[in-house]
Each structure stands twice: as C-alpha cells, then as structure tokens.
Structure 1
Amino acid sequence: MIYAMLVACEVGFWVVLLSGLLSRYVLRRRTLGAVLLACVPLVDLALLAFAVVDMQRGARATIGHGLAAMYLGFTVAFGPKLVQWADVRVAHRFADGPAPARPARFGPEHARRIRGNGLRHVLAFAIGMSLLATAILVVDDPDRTGNLGQVAVGWSFLLLVDLVILARYTLWPRPEPAGAE
C-alpha cells in the first residue's frame, strides 16, 4: 500500500507544481498560483503522515516508509530551487519571460553550484533523518521499524558520495576545455 501512495504522491507533487505554474502564467491568477506552489510540500507531508499511520496500525516498515521521510527532506531542501527552475522555464514559454540562463559547466561558478546542491543534500539528509527518528519513536516498535535503519544507511552512503563529489569540484574545479568559447 505504501508504494501505491508513493506513486500517487509523486504524481500529486508534479500536478500541484504544474497547476501552480500554469495558474500563475497561463490563467494569470498569481495568487492562486502562489497558493498552489505553497501547497507543494503538503503532498510530501501527507505521504509521511500516511507512512507513520500505516506503521502505527501494524504495518512493518519498508523502504517505502523510509522514502516518505526522504521525500519531505528533499522537498524542503530542494523544493524552492526546483520551483524557481520550473518558474523561469514556464515564464519564458508562456509569459514572454527571459530565456533561462545556462548553468556554468566549468570553473569556480560550476564548483559553487555543486557546493550549493551538496549543502542542500546535507539539509535534506538532516530533515529526513530527523523524520525517520521521529517515526521510529512514534511507532515505538523496533521489530516493525527496523527497515528504516536500512534507509538511513543507504542515504548516508549517497550523502557521502555527494560530499566526495562536492570536495572534488571545490578543490579541483572542472577546467574549461581548450578552444571553448
């Protein structure tokens, strides 16, 4: 059941996001668009609430239950940047906004962007781990919440890889290729 809810909330996330942007730029209803965009994190909050209630009612935690915490962490940490990214593109397409700037692919500016994303990942990790710990405390049954530890270990590994990449680009920024404009 949790996996069906994950899929439904993923679809819901994009529907709410696109509805907010289309309301803002196609329908020219800026207030409605702002309200819908503010509701984007509520989709992931509903997913997390479902996961905790599901475990409280006796379900054994699965990786899907852990993903609910990860989704909310990522939405809080990366959501504003994602909305900004989508906003620029929809504004350009539907409201004669400026063309989106291409992100730097080389040098210090590229390294700065990588660092920003790495720090957002650290924030997402902190939020997600806090939510996982809270879910474990609320359910209060180690036999049913044990799989949440696997999520924590897997996510810790991914964060470590991300931090290694961040360090690599910080210490040795990608040089611009010879002959590039």
Structure 2
Amino acid sequence: MLVGVIAACEIGFWVVLAAGLAARYPLRMRRTGAALLLAVPLVDVVLLVATVADLRGGATAGFAHGLAAAYLGYSLAFGHSMVRWADERFAHRFAGGPPPRRKPRYGRARARYEWVEFGKAAVATAIGCALLLAMIALVGDAGRTAALTGWTARLGLVLAVWSLWPITHTLWPSEPKVGAASRPPAERARPR
C-alpha cells in the first residue's frame, strides 16, 4: 500500500506543480497559482503522515518505508530547484520570460554546478537518514525496523556514486570541442 502512496505523491507533486504554473501563467490567476505552488510541499506531508501511520499501526518496516524516507529527503532537497526549473520554462513559454537557464557545459562553471548538485544530494541523504533513524526510534523494536537500517547504507552508496560527477569535473574539466562552434562568429558566417 505504501508504494502506491509514494507513487501517488510523486504524481501529485507534478500535478499540483503543473496546476500552479498553469494558473499563474496561461490563466493569469497569480494568487491561485501562488497558493498552489505553496501547496506543493504538502504532498510530502501526506507521504510522511502515511508512513508514520503505517508504522504506528504495527506494520513491520519494509522496503517501502525506507523508500518513503529516501523520497522525502530528495523531494525536500531538490524540490525548490525543480519548481524553479519548471517555473522558468512556463514563464518563457507563456509569459514572454527570458529563455530558461541551462546548466554550464564546460570548465570551472560546470564543476561548480556539479558540486552544488552534490551538496543537495548530501542534504537529501542527511534528511533521509534522519527520517530513517526517527522511524527506528518511533517504532522502538529492532526486529520491526531491520529493513530501515539497510537503507542508510543504500543512501550512503548513492551519495558516494554521486560524488564521482563533481570530482571528475573538478579533476578533468571538460573543454569545448574545437570546430565550427568555437570559431569566431564572422568566420562561421562566411560561405565556403
């Protein structure tokens, strides 16, 4: 049942976000759009309440409970940037806003970007692990929460793998390819 709640919350996140942006831009209902965008985190509250209620009801913690903690951690850490990402695209498409920002592709700017994203992943891991430990303490029975202990290792492994991107971009920064795109504009405009 809890896996279904997690799926519904993920779908609900995007539905509430899309409704808020649609109200804000195409429908030009600024207050309604703002209220819906402020309601996006309530989807996470629904998942948290469902998870706690399931554990308090005597359920043995399983894969879904750990997944719920991981989902909540990543949703809280990356939620704001996902809302900003979607808002930039809606503003550009429906309100004549500037083109959406793209992530840097090369050099130090790309390495900095990857470290910021890694920082968000570290925050997500910390939140997820804190929720897992809180669930373990809430239940108070090691036999019923053994599956949650394994999730802390999973989240740590995900973070360790994630660290490869910023490290790689720091040690071996990517450079633009030499070719037509790197030539001066006047040179590119000349007919051949």
Shorter-chain TM-score tier = over 0.9
Q: Percent identity?
A: 45
Q: Is the 8 A contact 1:63 1:147 kept in 2?
A: yes
Question: Which runs of structure 2 are paired with 1:122-133 in the superposition (5 Å)?
Answer: 122-133=122-133
Q: Which residue of 2 aligns with 1:3?
A: 3
Give the TM-score of the pair, scaled to structure 2: 0.89
CA distance in 2, matches of 1:34, 1:78: 19
Deviations 1:48-90, CA, capped at 9 Å, x for gaps:
2211210111212122111211222112211111111100111
Q: Partner of 1:54 in structure 2? A: 54
Which segment is superposed worse, 114-123 or 27-36? 27-36
- Map 1:66-105; keep pairs closer than 5 Å: 66-105=66-105
The answer for the alignment partner of 2:186 in structure 1 is: none
Which amino acid is 1:72 matched to? L
* Amino acid aligned to 2:66: G
Residue type matched to 1:10 in 2? E
SS of the aligned residue for 2:61 comes to coil
Cα deviations by residue, 1:132-151 (Å, 9 ceiling, x for unpaired): 11111111121111111222
Q: State the match for 1:151 in structure 2.
A: 151
Q: Give TM-score scaled by structure 1 length.
A: 0.94
SS of equivalent residue, structure 2 residue 85? helix
Deviations 1:88-135 (A, max 9, x none): 111111112122133221111111111110000001111111111111
CA distance in structure 2 between the partners assigned to 1:177 and 1:117 by the alignment: 25
Q: Distance in 2 between matches of 1:78 and 1:8?
A: 18
* Structure 2 unaligned blocks of 5 or more: 183-192
Q: Secondary structure at the match of 1:142?
A: coil
8 Å CA contact 1:52, 1:139 repeated in 2: no
2:129–2:155: 8 Å Cα contact kept in structure 1? no
Identify the residue that residue 187 of structure 2 maps to in structure 1: none
Q: Which runs of 4+ in 1 moved over 4 A?
A: none
- Residues 1:65 and 2:74 are matched in the alignment: no
Map 1:139-178; keep pairs closer than 5 Å.
139-178=139-178
Name structure 1 gaps, 5 residues minimum: none
Matches within 5 A, 1:20-35: 20-35=20-35
